[in-house]
Structure 1
Amino acid sequence: MQQTSQTDLQTIRAALEANSRLTSLSGAALIASGVLAFFAAGLTAQSGVAEPATRVGISTDLLYRLIILWGSTLLLSVTLNLLGMMYRSRKDGQPLAARLGRRVLFAMLPALAVGGAMTAGLTLQGHLDFIFGVWMLCYGAALIAASAHSLTSVRMLGVFTLIGGVLGVIPGLNLDFIMYTSTFGAGHFLLGVWVGVRYGW
């Protein structure tokens, strides 16, 4: 009898996990990510590499500075969102947040790994003309994959980012920097406002 009850509880828990979505996102952390992206975009523009042609064959010194800028922006954004999610999950009492968080991470990992590999290859070759388009394509695909276990609004940002990536890699349009600022900056900022108002900060 006891074994049957334990089996039933495990079945119920598995069903709850399968149908649950990660809602413990931090609106404040997402807004901060958008602000950081705006800040990084501003410094990138000041460096004179906003246009795709200006990112081909750049000096080693400028390349290192851009790597530090973009890398630190990514690291800070990831850290803020992880801390925000941990805080929200404890505050909301969402016991499945840890497992759902791992599902979201594993769903995003393939696309992010492709983005990392392509970034490394393009950086080593000194061809960063389409780097923002590559980032948007990979990140958009990652968000769409993650939205299967998270909020529908995450999928909307993913689709928007994916469209921005497509526009960013079309030669001659020169829209990659504008779309990068719109998706990573404005996109995260607006998503943060929506999440904060709808689910919590």
Structure 2
Amino acid sequence: MEFRDVVRRRRMIRRYSSAPVDPAAVDRMLEHAQRAPNAGFSQGWAFLVLDTPTDVDLFWWATGARSTGAHARPNAWLEGMRTAPVVIVPLASKDAYLDRYAEPDKGWTDRSEDRWPVPYWYVDAGMASLLILQTAVDEGLGACFFGVPGEYVDDLRSAFSIPADHTPVGAITVGHRVEDTGSKGSAARRERRTNVVHRGRWES
């Protein structure tokens, strides 16, 4: 598939067919993710791959699917997303970046976070996640990146023994697309903006 087609076809898929995902395709997603740019070649990321029904069910239970009442997830969203046979959780390690930039070739002598204008450990994990999404398209699959609610992060850590120095930046469902999987909410009615490029000077 041409790269421009991969970019144009990428969309968030929220419901999947029952067809299994080839493990080799998942391996390629992870291989490409590790080619993402990362500050100082810190490589402060990790990827938790959940590809068995037991682990996928545990992921949803740990991240709030067990909730009822006012705190329950929207049923249509949850029911659709839970059809995904694979969930990938990108993780970011801040310590890896602080350690890397305290090395002699970087010229810093401490691990202070004050030197960082933005938390690049999260930025880099986001770019790696995008490569997973794009590779899914190239493999003929669908995927969706979404956030893990803050109140369930500790439960997710506990369920899968995620180290304390790695922070989940979200999760990605992966599976075979089914028809009409786009959002039915207000986002589906929004047009893609074309006025976000500013050259030389910001103009409103």
TM-score normalized with structure 1 length: 0.28
User: Which is richer in strand?
Assistant: 2
**Structure with greater helix share of residues:** 1
TM-score with structure 2 length normalisation?
0.28
